[in-house]
Amino acid sequence: MAVSPLDLRYKNEMNAIFDEENTLAKWLMIEAALAKAQARVGRIPRSAAKEIEGKANTKHVSLSRVKEIEREIDHDLMAMVKALSEQCSIEAAKYVHLGATSYDIEDTAHALILRDAMRIIERKLKHLKQILLVLAEENKLRVCIGRTHGQHAVPTTYGMKFALYASEVERQEERLKQAGKRMFVGKMSGAVGTMSTFGKEGLRIQEYVMRELDIVPALVTNQVVQRDRHAEVMFVLSLIGCTLEKIAKEIRNLQRTEIMEVAEPFGRKQVGSSTMPHKRNPHRCERVCSLARLLRSNVSVALDNIALEHERDLTNSANERFIIPESFIVTNFIMNEMIDILVGLEFFPDNIRKNLELSKGQIMAERLMILLTRKGMSRQEAHELLRNASIKAFKEGKHLKEALGENKDVIKYLTERELDNAFDPDTYIGEAVEIVEKAIREMKRR
């Protein structure tokens, strides 16, 4: 019976990248590439390399047999070596894994596995960005209240929100690509990285193996590829999680009963609460926020793995079996969640308009301050006037326009029509539309 929610609730297409069958296939692929490279430099017979290459796959080397051997010898990589050797003739078996250490195979396999995993994440980021750009375009004229410190500020647009998120997703795309350049490296350098078992052909063997696998050789290693590379990838995944959490948290807050401007999709038969039939909880957004915390916690472990002792120790090995698959599976899951949420996002225009008017005009105080300044009043005087008028209007439950209409200094500078026009939030969004359109154009070009 499965215990981890990664195999149940949060299972997705990323699981197949990290399952044992795929890991074994990658190990065997590298063993085949090693034999081929050694034959190429004349260290083993070509016939042996050809036989190893033909048998180094999961059709011949079963996971069940590898597991059986592992139970006997308590070494997973060596269990694979023995299982592969069993499938080869006595002559070819002599050359299986010749000169390599376990992490020549395991760390090079890591690069191949993470390359496939990161390609999935990259595709999802591109898809997510496109959805956000569509939402930005569709909502570039949808005026809403902006909030700072949880308080009503001045008007903005939903197009601005979505364009902002799209630009952040694009930066995560760039970070993932940059991390990939440093992560997609392998090694074939032996026990402490000196290539002593390969003699003078070590650099050539490593180059041929990596070329066969379409990755680059690490410039210098000890027994392992250095874990700063892995930590960087984990950090990028956590950053992606933070971006998704930012979007999810905004939706959650905007879905509060008192605000209710937008809401995540709610199925026709969906249940919000086991006891309160009316509930429409933003549980998917809450799930995104929850799992983003898990991604951040895994970064701490990945950072600890960088400082291995001497030429290596095993303190990274056990935890990486958890944190790396977990972080990729969770990142992919919450990206799938956010894509679905945004595609089905529901808007409530009446509430958006109601919230614009909730402060009884006080959100336009900044505009009036600027307008009075243009008419000749000093900026500081105008600020103080609007501050006092806002306080008075709030205490007396009046609209700010009414409070200002009673002020002789305001009447001296502004006509009644100018005062009326100043309280239209739809005309106080600055360059918001142009900013959104420019962002969409530039991101679509890239």
What are the catalytic residues?
149, 273
Residue type, 417: R
Buried b (16+ CB within 10 A) or exposed e, 132-158: bbebbeebbebbbbbbeeeebebbbbb
Where b means 16+ CB within 10 Å and e means fewer, 172-187 reads: bbebbeebbeebbbbb
Asked if 328 and 18 touch (Cβ cutoff 8 Å), the reply is yes
- Orientation angle between helical segments 102-138 and 158-183, nearest 10 degrees: 160
Residues 6+ apart with CB under 8 A from 280: 255, 263, 266, 272
CB 56 within 8 A of CB 93: no
Terminal alpha carbon distance of the chain? 46
310 CB-contact burial (10 Å; exposed 0-12 / middle 13-18 / buried 19+):
exposed
The Cα-based distances of 66 to 21, 57, 95, 233, 403 in angstroms read 11, 12, 19, 30, 82
Q: Which residues, 6+ apart, have CB-to-CB distance to 145 below 8 Å?
A: 152, 153, 155, 156, 355, 356, 358, 363, 425
Instruction: Judge residue 58's burial from the number of C-beta atoms within 10 Å of its C-beta, 0-12 exposed, 13-18 middle, 19 or more buried.
Output: middle
